[in-house]
Amino acid sequence: MPLKSLVALAAALLATALAGCARDIPYETLKAKYANPASRFVTLQNGVSVHYRDQGRPDGPPVVLVHGFAANLDTWEPWVARLGDTYRVVTLDLPAHGLTATPPGYEMSTQGQVEVIDQLTRQLGLPPFVLGGNSMGGGASWNYALAHPDRLRGLVLVASVGPRPRTEAGSPSGEGPPAIFRVMANPVGRAALRSLDPRPLAEPGLRKAYVDESLVTPALVDRYVDLALAPGRREMILAGRRGPPSASADAVKGVSVPTLVMHGAKDTVVPVGVGEELNRLIPGAQLIVYPEAGHVPMEQIPDRSAADVRAFIESLPPQESSGK
């Protein structure tokens, strides 16, 4: 194992030892705290009980938003508040995240995320919609666009995972995946993390992602920590999430729907070069880089980012009447 990986693994193991163990929190306890009047639950054909919210203008053009790794649908509430006067905004918790519960033996994967998005949107009877995703949710979104282009009017990738940028010499850049994914790729690291109390690591990680530390409130930290302790969640994530979704440049080139790529210049989770590479690879894509934003521009700069999404949607061809 390379020295850098050993250092990252040792750091994670030390943090685990210092933090101690944490018990799972029952779903009913989590629902009582984090569900709201807009929350809905539906069991899909694959047995996943999805937590989602269907908000905004009921007869408006639909927009579906997918959160990133370790986050949940609450990350989109700033956009719901700013887009809901015009659009029907559907947000959801992916498997192994938020209040979504999975059947025994369920394995977390990008393909599974695509399946959940497809089953939920069809069950809701949505016509062709705009799909937006942040970070890991961006990877699920562009994979959905590859699998179901006929279901989409447009695609919005917010600090999305994707192919690593290439150097002028044509080889991948030196930017590797975050240290946590390198730890998760190691059997010893996964074993240690299964009982990890996430609280000591949550606040520093969130401050790094949000850039604006004023946004990292005690309530935000509590939400991330509590939802990470849903029954069996750590075990499932560690079993199925050993690194960022695989991202083939050739595959990304196959995205055929209108695409807006949005990225914060100060993003240290998914470097802005990844957004630039997505913009380069996806035919006709548009790129917006926010100089002062980090990994979650929908929360850090909601007014500007939501206005840019609105302008993008308004530029799309008119919505067709059916797309089931």
- Return the SS3 of 6: helix
CA distance 67 to 134: 5
CA distance 95 to 98: 8
Looking only at the bridges linking them, the beta strands covering 152-158 and 129-134 are: parallel
Domain boundaries, the chain: 3-314
Residue 323, pLDDT above cutoff 50: no
Quote the DSSP letter at residue 320: P
Q: What is the pLDDT of residues 67-122, one digit of tens each?
A: 999 999 999 999 999 999 999 999 999 999 999 999 988 888 999 999 999 999 99
Tokens 């059916």 -> residue: 322
Quote the DSSP letter at residue 95: T
Strand order in the sheet with 39-43: 39-43, 49-56, 88-92, 62-66, 129-134, 152-158, 259-264, 286-290
Residue 48, pLDDT above cutoff 90: yes
98: nearest Cα among 126, 75, 116: 75
Q: How many CA atoms lie within 13 A of 47 on its CB side?
A: 6
CB atoms inside a 10 Å sphere around CB 26? 12
**291: its two tokens:** 């100089």
65: nearest Cα among 7, 2, 1, 138: 138
Query: Residues of the chain with pLDDT > 70: what percent?
Result: 79
**257: its two tokens:** 């729907």
∠ Cα 283 284 289 (to 5°): 110
CA distance 220 to 224: 6
65: nearest Cα among 181, 146, 160, 1: 160
H-assigned helices in the chain: 3-19, 27-34, 77-83, 110-123, 136-147, 179-184, 187-193, 199-210, 218-228, 233-240, 249-252, 272-281, 297-300, 302-314
Q: What pTM did the predictor assign?
A: 0.86
Cα-flanking dihedrals φ and ψ of residue 63, to 5°? -130, 125
pLDDT at 239: 65
Tell me the mean pLDDT in the region 228-248: 69
Q: Higher pLDDT residue, 14 or 35? A: 35
CATH number of 3-314: 3.40.50.1820
The highest-confidence range among 68-77, 176-185, 186-195, by mean pLDDT, is 68-77
pLDDT at 14: 46
pLDDT at 3: 43
